[in-house]
């Protein structure tokens, strides 16, 4: 078995594979583990799902220091968990092609290494290919210019005039940090996000000891957090139920002192359509006299700054908080099944059965593939359900190959798209939808339903072959 990627998906797969006694290796493009949490090291980085839920269930951590753990704390915890797999991970192996030949996947890596694997668990990440806006003059900028997921460790904001493009989940975390140090901070906003307060607090040493001594206590907190998010998430599917979030968002907006700024920051689309952001320091940061909000479209980047419609903003550094290209794994890997390339197969619309299996691509198991991202709960719960499903498929396949049927995928896509029209998600443009408004990323129902459905599905909807393709 080959596992590609050593982020949370790879670790969840490694744990399950080692429990089942199957032989496997993990191939990781970078020099260390961590995926999202290795890449995103910007100041203020934290998870917006409470930490006791945002942990793999096999690796609870009684010592989370706060409800919303920082990225650094999450990465340290992942490293602890990954230690037992260290001899199974091949670092510096970026998968460039996977070709199905003689009932096996032949994997080729950028360092020239080649291996054969009967099954591949592709844990290459849902959101990790940086989205760079197509702005004229981007290369002409004279100062440092970088994406939030490529933050230079030696970047010092002190005394600089800094521009930030984008106001999504990442930007609202690093803007307050930059605002403290920058001489001027210019935030270029295309669409105002809905932002609700972050109910964060630290866990005292006593409480951490109690979590360690009584694991049920920790499980109870995890369960309660899960159920709360499931319940709140239903507000995204039935927008009328989201009144509480709208009220929270509106009351947070009242903390913006300047009425013009407040108007610019007020969203004009249904809450939940884009990911609801949680922050208690974003709006206060925008109140600072050194922080300027621009809503005019960015026309171009010049050597010395950003050109808006009517003016040029002089800048020393430029930060892109412009998010990621979802489901863009194919920009990195050429996957060729028995009947052709995945890029061609997905040309019309990317689709995978429960985000895992694609017709025509036997023994290939995606984690967090199309239509399995979430807007409301911990994606780790989805990853774990998908890993369990992949292992069931591997077991069913025996020594042969297992492939999902095209009509099973069609039925899944129709089922998943059904609630879309009535939900908040169809009310604006977001990375959940492609340019034609089709949902390529989201699982539109609850995690509980995802788990239940996957458990029942088993290998029905799949076809097992013993001969050669
Ligand atoms: P997000 O949440 O996708 O945010 C990206 C932001 O960048 C958002 O404000 C976008 O505005 C803006 N953006 C994207 N492209 C452009 C261009 N071309 N011009 C101007 N502004 C642009 O990414 P994050 O990194 O913040 O978070 C990623 C996910 O990680 C997040 O959803 C969580 O699930 C965790 P828009 O709203 O599209 O107008």
Burial of 435 (C-beta count, 10 Å sphere; 0-12/13-18/19+): exposed
Q: CA-CA distance, 395 to 1, in Å (whole number)?
A: 12
Atom of ligand 1 nearest to the CA of 149: 25
Phi, psi of 213 (to 5 degrees): -80, -35
Cα Rg, the chain, nearest whole Å: 23
Kindly report the protein residue whose alpha carbon is nearest to atom 38 of ligand 1.
430
Which residues face 334 on adjacent strands? 97
CB 465 within 8 A of CB 401: yes
Kindly report the protein residue whose alpha carbon is nearest to atom 33 of ligand 1.
169
Atom of ligand 1 nearest to the CA of 191: 39
Please give the distance, rounded to the nearest whole angstrom, from the Cα atom of residue 109 to the centre of ligand 1: 31
Q: What is the largest CA-CA distance in the chain?
A: 70
CB 331 within 8 A of CB 130: no
- Residue 396: which H helix or E strand, with range? helix 379-397
Q: CA-CA distance, 83 to 89, in Å (whole number)?
A: 10
CB 356 within 8 A of CB 462: no
The gap from C-alpha 338 to its chain's centroid, in whole angstroms, comes to 30
Which residues face 312 on adjacent strands? 307
Contacts for 388 with CB less than 8 Å, ≥ 6 apart: 16, 454, 455
Q: Which domains does the chain have, with CATH numbers?
A: 2-129+325-465 (3.50.50.60), 138-201+209-320 (3.50.50.60)
pTM of the prediction? 0.95
- What is the per-residue pLDDT for 68? 98
Q: CA-CA distance, 461 to 279, in Å (whole number)?
A: 43
**To test ligand 1's pocket by mutation, which of 131, 134, 166 has the most ligand atoms within 8 angstroms of CB?**
166
CB 140 within 8 A of CB 153: no
Angle 189-74-280 from CA coordinates, rounded to 5°: 40
Q: HEC string of 178-227?
A: HHHHCCEEEEECCCCCCEECCCCCECCHHHHHHHHHCHHHHHHHHHHHHH
Atom of ligand 1 nearest to the CA of 135: 18
**To test ligand 1's pocket by mutation, which of 47, 323, 432 has the most ligand atoms within 8 angstroms of CB?**
323
Q: CA-CA distance, 47 to 436, in Å (whole number)?
A: 30
Phi, psi of 293 (to 5 degrees): -105, 130
Atom of ligand 1 nearest to the CA of 190: 39
Atom of ligand 1 nearest to the CA of 429: 38
- What is the per-residue pLDDT for 468? 54
Query: Which residue from 408, 415, 411 is spatially nearest to 442, judged by alpha carbons?
Result: 415
pLDDT in 10s for each residue of the chain, 469 residues:
999 999 999 999 999 999 999 999 999 999 999 999 999 999 999 999 999 999 999 999 999 999 999 999 999 999 999 999 999 999 999 999 999 999 999 999 999 999 999 999 999 987 788 999 999 999 999 999 999 999 999 999 999 999 999 999 999 999 999 999 999 999 999 999 999 999 999 999 999 999 999 999 999 999 999 999 999 887 777 777 788 889 999 999 999 999 999 999 999 998 888 889 999 999 999 999 999 999 999 999 999 999 998 899 999 999 999 998 876 778 889 999 999 999 999 987 899 999 999 999 999 999 999 999 998 899 999 999 999 999 999 999 998 999 999 999 999 999 999 888 788 887 788 888 888 888 888 899 999 999 999 999 888 899 999 865 5
Q: Ligand 1 pocket: which residues have CB below 6 Å?
A: 127, 131, 133, 148, 165-171, 190-191, 274-275, 321-324, 431
Q: CA-CA distance, 395 to 383, in Å (whole number)?
A: 18
Kindly report the protein residue whose alpha carbon is nearest to atom 19 of ligand 1.
133
Atom of ligand 1 nearest to the CA of 148: 25
Please give the distance, rounded to the nearest whole angstrom, from the Cα atom of residue 321 to the centre of ligand 1: 6
Query: Which residue from 51, 445, 410 is spatially nearest to 218, judged by alpha carbons?
Result: 51
Angle 373-409-1 from CA coordinates, rounded to 5°: 70
Q: CA-CA distance, 400 to 420, in Å (whole number)?
A: 37
DSSP string, 57-104: TTS--TT-SBSS-BHHHHHHHHHHHHGGGGGGEE-S--EEEEEEETTE
Please give the distance, rounded to the nearest whole angstrom, from the Cα atom of residue 190 to the centre of ligand 1: 9
Kindly report the protein residue whose alpha carbon is nearest to atom 15 of ligand 1.
322
Please give the distance, rounded to the nearest whole angstrom, from the Cα atom of residue 105 to the centre of ligand 1: 35
Please give the distance, rounded to the nearest whole angstrom, from the Cα atom of residue 274 to the centre of ligand 1: 9
Kindly report the protein residue whose alpha carbon is nearest to atom 25 of ligand 1.
323
Please give the distance, rounded to the nearest whole angstrom, from the Cα atom of residue 135 to the centre of ligand 1: 15
Please give the distance, rounded to the nearest whole angstrom, from the Cα atom of residue 246 to the centre of ligand 1: 20
Identify the sign of the CA torsion 42, 48, 51, 53. Answer: negative
Kindly report the protein residue whose alpha carbon is nearest to atom 24 of ligand 1.
323
Please give the distance, rounded to the nearest whole angstrom, from the Cα atom of residue 88 to the centre of ligand 1: 35
**To test ligand 1's pocket by mutation, which of 151, 165, 190 has the most ligand atoms within 8 angstroms of CB?**
190
Q: CA-CA distance, 235 to 326, in Å (whole number)?
A: 24
- What is the per-residue pLDDT for 39? 96
Please give the distance, rounded to the nearest whole angstrom, from the Cα atom of residue 320 to the centre of ligand 1: 9
Q: CA-CA distance, 377 to 226, in Å (whole number)?
A: 7
């Amino acid at each position: 078995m080959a596992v590609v990627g050593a982020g949370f998906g790879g670790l969840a797969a490694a744990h399950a594979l080692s429990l089942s006694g199957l032989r496997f290796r993990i191939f990781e493009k970078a020099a260390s583990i961590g995926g999202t949490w290795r890449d995103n090291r910007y100041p203020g980085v934290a998870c917006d799902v409470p930490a006791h839920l945002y942990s793999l269930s096999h690796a609870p951590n009684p010592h989370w220091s706060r409800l919303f753990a920082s990225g650094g704390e999450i990465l340290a915890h992942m490293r602890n968990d990954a230690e037992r797999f260290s001899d199974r991970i091949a670092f510096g192996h970026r998968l460039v092609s996977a070709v199905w030949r003689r009932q096996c996947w032949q994997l080729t890596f950028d360092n020239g290494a080649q291996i054969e694997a009967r099954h591949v668990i592709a844990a290459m990440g849902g959101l990790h290919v940086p989205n760079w806006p197509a702005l004229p003059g981007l290369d002409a900028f004279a100062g440092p210019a970088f994406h939030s997921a490529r933050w230079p460790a030696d970047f010092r904001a002190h005394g600089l005039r800094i521009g930030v493009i984008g106001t999504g989940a990442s930007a609202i975390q690093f803007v307050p940090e930059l605002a403290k140090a920058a001489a001027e901070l210019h935030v270029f906003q295309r669409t105002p996000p809905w932002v609700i307060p972050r109910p964060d607090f630290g866990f005292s040493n006593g409480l951490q000891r109690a979590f360690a001594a009584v694991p049920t206590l920790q499980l109870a907190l995890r369960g309660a957090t899960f159920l709360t998010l499931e319940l709140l998430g239903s507000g995204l599917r039935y927008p009328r139920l989201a009144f509480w979030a709208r009220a929270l968002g509106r009351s947070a907006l009242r903390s913006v002192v300047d009425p013009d700024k407040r108007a610019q920051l007020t969203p004009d689309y249904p809450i939940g359509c884009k990911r609801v952001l949680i922050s208690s320091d974003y709006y206060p940061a925008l109140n600072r006299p050194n922080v300027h909000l621009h809503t005019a479209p960015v026309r171009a980047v010049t050597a010395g700054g950003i050109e808006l419609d009517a003016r040029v903003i002089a800048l020393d550094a430029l930060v892109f908080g412009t998010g990621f290209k979802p489901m863009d794994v194919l920009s990195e890997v050429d996957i060729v099944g028995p009947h052709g390339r995945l890029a061609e197969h997905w040309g019309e619309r990317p689709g995978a059965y429960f985000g895992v299996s694609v017709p025509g691509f036997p023994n290939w198991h995606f984690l967090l593939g199309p239509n399995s991202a979430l807007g409301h709960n911990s994606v780790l719960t989805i990853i774990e359900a998908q890993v369990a499903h992949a292992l069931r498929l591997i077991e069913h396949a025996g020594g042969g190959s297992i492939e999902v049927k095209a009509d099973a995928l069609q039925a899944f896509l129709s089922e998943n798209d059904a609630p879309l029209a009535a939900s908040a998600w169809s009310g604006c443009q977001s990375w959940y939808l492609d340019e034609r408004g089709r949902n390529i990323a989201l699982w539109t129902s609850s995690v509980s339903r995802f788990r239940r459905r996957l458990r029942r599905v088993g290998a029905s909807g799949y076809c097992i072959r013993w001969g050669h393709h």
